[in-house]
């Protein structure tokens, strides 16, 4: 009987303890662990275990999704590579050829962006580079790879950008150059154009001539102290080429005329009129009568 009473008392104690624990409220997150009661600590521990379990479940789900996506990506890459290989075969190129084309096109686009960012003065100094870009573009466009979807629009846009650079109008003023003496500096249009700070190319002398046609009548004659306007560098214009051809035609004509004057006129010799000798036996006397010896 006594044992039965003790057992009932233990059960009641446990029930009361469990009922008391259900009434314990979770402690706020700001409360330190060291300040928690036993029941509050148990509740916080249970809460963290639940959170960890939920995160592990989400992590496993994400890992599964990631694996599925990686498998799908690998399949797409393989399909893309097969498609590219088929296209490369159509244009007669290998993957290495395409990579080289991609690199060249990228450099061309970078050069275009560099020139477009220049101010007028810096652009004029490098205008000739535009023609080199146009030549490179023509080479790329002649390749069948330029028709690939990856490159087609980029190649087309590059041509548009190069054309805009060629047609770019600048407000840069011409340089001025003061002619120096021939004896000391050998200044002439040919030598002036050949100076590195002017054109660096003596064949551009006609640009200076035509740019100063109001003061230069004869390109062979310039005088010290003359202030010449130096046009921006670039290919010769149609007018400049025409003036240069005219200049050389006049030079050749003058040289031919000078050569003709130097040659002595051709002289024609006429044969002497033959004279009939007077016979020795027939002589005239002082009266004009003939008489024999």
Contacts of 168 (CB under 8 A, 6+ apart): 123
Mean pLDDT, residues 169-173 taken together = 72
Which tokens is 4 given? 């039965």
The pLDDT assigned to 265 comes to: 59
**Dist CA 48 CA 36 (whole Å):** 15
The pLDDT assigned to 6 comes to: 45
Q: What is the DSSP letter of 228?
A: E
The pLDDT assigned to 285 comes to: 47
Domain boundaries, the chain: 95-166, 175-259
**Dist CA 147 CA 169 (whole Å):** 32
**Dist CA 238 CA 240 (whole Å):** 5
The pLDDT assigned to 14 comes to: 39
Buried-exposed string 155-171: b where 16+ CB fall within 10 A, e elsewhere: beebeebbeebeeeeee
pLDDT in tens, 83-103: 878 888 888 889 899 999 999
Residue 201's Cβ-count burial label (10 Å; 0-12, 13-18, 19+) is middle
- Range in 40-44, 60-64, 99-103, 170-174 the model is least confident about: 170-174
Q: For residue 175, give Cα distances in angstroms to 232, 251, 283.
A: 8, 29, 97
pLDDT confidence of 22, banded at 50, 70, 90? low
**Dist CA 47 CA 99 (whole Å):** 57
Q: Between 120 and 135, where is the model more confident?
A: 135
Q: Does the reported pTM lie above 0.85?
A: no
**Dist CA 61 CA 55 (whole Å):** 10
The pLDDT assigned to 267 comes to: 53
Q: Between 41 and 264, where is the model more confident?
A: 41
Give which of 230, 231, 212, 207 is closest to 222, Cα–Cα. Answer: 212
Other C-beta atoms lying within 10 Å of the C-beta of residue 152: 12
The pLDDT assigned to 50 comes to: 94
The pLDDT assigned to 16 comes to: 43
Residue 129's Cβ-count burial label (10 Å; 0-12, 13-18, 19+) is middle
The crossing angle, in degrees rounded to 10, of helices 95-116 and 38-90 is 100
Instruction: Work out the mean pLDDT of the chain and round it to a whole number.
Output: 83
Q: What angle do CA 169, 178, 221 make, to 5 degrees?
A: 100
Which tokens is 82 given? 């097969």
Q: Please say if the pLDDT value at position 11 is more than 70.
A: no
The pLDDT assigned to 80 comes to: 85
Which tokens is 11 given? 């059960």
Q: Please say if the pLDDT value at position 158 is more than 70.
A: yes
pLDDT in tens, 208-217: 999 999 999 9
CATH code 3.30.70 for 175-259: no
């Amino acid at each position: 009987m006594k044992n039965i009473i003790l057992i009932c008392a233990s059960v009641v104690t446990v029930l009361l303890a469990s009922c008391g624990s259900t009434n314990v409220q979770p402690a706020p997150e700001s409360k330190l662990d060291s300040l928690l009661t036993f029941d509050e600590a148990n509740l916080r521990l249970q809460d963290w275990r639940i959170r960890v379990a939920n995160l592990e479940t989400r992590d496993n789900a994400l890992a599964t999704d990631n694996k599925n996506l990686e498998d799908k990506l690998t399949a797409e890459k393989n399909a893309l590579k097969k498609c590219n290989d088929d296209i490369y075969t159509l244009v007669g190129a290998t993957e290495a050829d395409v990579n080289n084309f991609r690199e060249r096109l990228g450099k061309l686009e970078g050069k275009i962006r560099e020139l477009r960012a220049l101010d007028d003065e810096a652009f004029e100094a490098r205008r000739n580079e535009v023609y080199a870009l146009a030549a490179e573009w023509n080479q790329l466009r002649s390749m069948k790879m330029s028709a690939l979807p990856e490159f087609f629009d980029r190649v087309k846009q590059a041509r548009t950008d190069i054309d805009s650079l060629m047609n770019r109008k600048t407000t840069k003023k011409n340089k001025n150059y003061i002619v120096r003496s021939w004896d000391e500096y050998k200044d002439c249009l040919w030598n002036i154009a050949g100076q590195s700070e002017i054109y660096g190319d003596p064949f551009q002398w006609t640009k200076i001539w035509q740019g100063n046609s109001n003061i230069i009548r004869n390109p062979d004659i310039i005088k010290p102290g003359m202030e010449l306007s130096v046009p921006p560098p670039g290919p010769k214009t149609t007018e400049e080429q025409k003036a240069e051809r005219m200049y050389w035609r006049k030079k050749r004509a003058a040289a031919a005329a000078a050569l003709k004057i130097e040659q002595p006129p051709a002289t024609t010799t006429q044969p002497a009129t033959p004279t009939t000798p007077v016979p020795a036996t027939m002589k005239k006397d002082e009266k004009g009568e003939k008489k024999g010896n």
